Amino acid sequence: MSIPFLFWLSALYTVALFGVQAAEFATAGRVSISVSTANAFYLALLSAYVGSKEVQRWAIGFQPDPQTDEGQTPPRTFRPRGEWFVGLWAVFLLIAVLGSELWPAKLAYPNGLTLIAFEVLGFYIGSSASRWLSERQEQQAHREVEQQLEAESMEDNAPAKRDKPAPKRLTRKRERYEQHVLRHARSNGGLTREQTEKLLRLSRAAANRLLSGMVQRGQLVRPGDPNSPSASYQAA
């Protein structure tokens, strides 16, 4: 199941469960359901939704920003916000605590609300920590790729040596960057060095070395004047 589907399914169930909890609160407990069954299903839904997000985050990693022609608006992408769940339950928890304390004869603290609220909060804290670690890892990998490319660029521009160092094995991160470049080149009919800099957030030297390496390995071709900065690289 896709992440948007799981998000909206979780959101709909959240609204339904929230409605039942609110009814129990407003009717002083006269309206209630079996919290254990409802909460077990809610826990399963949230686990599926958060788990799918984590698998995608750690398996796919960095995704470049959508590229558009000048003057066009970038395409809108779906970005589910887990903060909505946390905010809803946190506000209701506060209202329920205050209401049941101030007007105990009219309002009742819903059975199971504390467990639900802290489950949602736990998922959110865990997901936020995972996102922070993933971003740190991506930033470190990005710096390593950029430094490697810039070092190779300096070696290319250095005086020729009799014994050339053996080519370095491409890292997984660099391979993903090259796949992004190939997809962009195929879908747009090519791309320039400047577009590569923006797409992958690389320096000029690093982007130039990445593209030239792909040309050397036969992944890209560069028709026209190879010294022109506006020349477009095309998928081979």
Domain 170-236 has CATH 1.10.10.10: yes
Which residue carries 């329920």 as its tokens?
Answer: 96
Q: What is the pLDDT of residues 33-60, one digit of tens each?
A: 888 888 999 999 999 999 998 888 777 6
Q: How far is CA 84 from the centre of its chain?
A: 17
| Domain locations along the chain | 3-56+79-140, 170-236
Q: Residue 20: which residues within 8 A CB-CB, separation 6 or more?
A: 31, 32, 33, 38
Q: What is the pLDDT of residues 116-147, one digit of tens each?
A: 999 999 999 999 999 899 888 888 878 888 88
Give the Å distances, CA to CA, from 165 to 155, 157, 160, 170: 10, 14, 11, 15
Q: What is the pLDDT of residues 72-117, one digit of tens each?
A: 444 455 566 778 889 999 999 999 999 999 999 999 999 999 999 9
Query: Among candidates 223, 164, 168, 173, which has minimal Cα distance to 200?
Result: 173
Q: What is the pLDDT of residues 145-160, one digit of tens each?
A: 888 888 877 776 656 5
